[in-house]
Structures are given as structure tokens and as C-alpha cells.
Amino acid sequence: MIIAFSLFSSSPHALAGRFNVTWVYDGDTFKAVGHDIEIVVRFMAIDAPEISYKKGEPSQPFSDQSKKVLMDLILNRTVEIEGYGLDKRNRVLAVVSLGGKNIGVEMIRQGLAEVYQGELPDDFDLKEYRQAEFQAKTSRRGMWSQRDSYISPMEWRERERRRRGAGMDRP
């Protein structure tokens, strides 16, 4: 059973601790266990290329590489999680670190995620994330090697929603 709501009090940082990563869904989401609970975690402040789980639907370029690198970094390892609340899908939004290294920043540094373009808490410091993204872009690492053909994960999701919706309108 995945528990999330009961973990949070009025503090957005109520969930913090060491968890063992048991599954990686994609480049920015994973499952972990610890403290007698199982949680699904969405990295805070990063957005990785989208994987399609529907047969015949395309995945975003670099989505498989992003998932593989995240698996190599954290799968079956114990990570530190600092929670920032829940997203609309009841996933724990968190900064995740291993051995003192911020894994979200590392994913950006490798060019396998970008800084999240949506809303974040006002007091969340993006400096390290933006520096890593700048380095990845200028070095053309990972998804930034696509240059002008690069599409952000947020834009990719929106295009896929419109494409699926347009196809559904046809007789």
C-alpha cells in the first residue's frame, strides 16, 4: 500500500528520511520504502523527458536514457528524501540525495532533465539547478544535443494531449 497523505503535517518538509529505492518509473519519478511505508516520489524542480507507456505511442527523445541513468544512480540504494508536499497525483515532491549529492541536479547536469518550468515554492532555491542546466546546455549534453529540435517535457506533454484529443474528435 502506498501512503502519502498521512505522512504530512502542516509543514511541507514533514517527510524526511532515508528510503530504499525499489522501482524507477522514469527520469524523475520512483518508488521507495522506509519507515514501514511505501511512497512514490517525484523529484522537486526537475522535469525529465517523457516515456510513453501506451503501445504505439512515441516516447520523447532521451527518455529511456534518462530512466536508465536514474536507475544506475539510485535503484536498490538508500537515498535521503526531503519532502515538499504532494503533487496533484499524490506523489511526494522531494529533493533526493545520495552520499551528499543532489540527484535531481545530477540528472540536469547530465542533460537528462531540465529545470521544472511550473510552479515551485517561493523559497525554493533554484541556483544550483539553473547552473547545472546552463552547463549541460552549453556542453550540449544529453537532450540538449538536439539543439533547435529540442522540446521541453512540459511542451511534449501538451502536444501529446492535443494530438490525442484531436484524434478523438474524428469520426
Active site residue 42: yes
What are the residues whose beta carbons fall under 8 Å from the beta carbon of 66, sequence distance 6 or more? 26, 27, 28, 48, 49, 107, 112, 113, 142, 143
18, 38, 42, 80: which one is catalytic? Answer: 42
50, 80, 106, 114: which one is catalytic? Answer: 50
- Answer for the pair 29, 42: CB distance below 8 angstroms, yes or no: yes
3-class SS string, the chain: CECCHHHCCCCCCCCEEEEEEEEEEECCEEEEEECCEEEEEEECCEECCCCCCCCCCCCCCCHHHHHHHHHHHHCCCEEEEEEEEECCCCCEEEEEEECCEEHHHHHHHCCCCEECCCCCCCCCCCHHHHHHHHHHHHHCCHHHHHHHHCCCHHHHHHHHHHHHHHHHHCC
Active site residue 57: no
91, 106, 109, 114: which one is catalytic? Answer: 91
Q: Which residues are catalytic?
A: 42, 50, 91
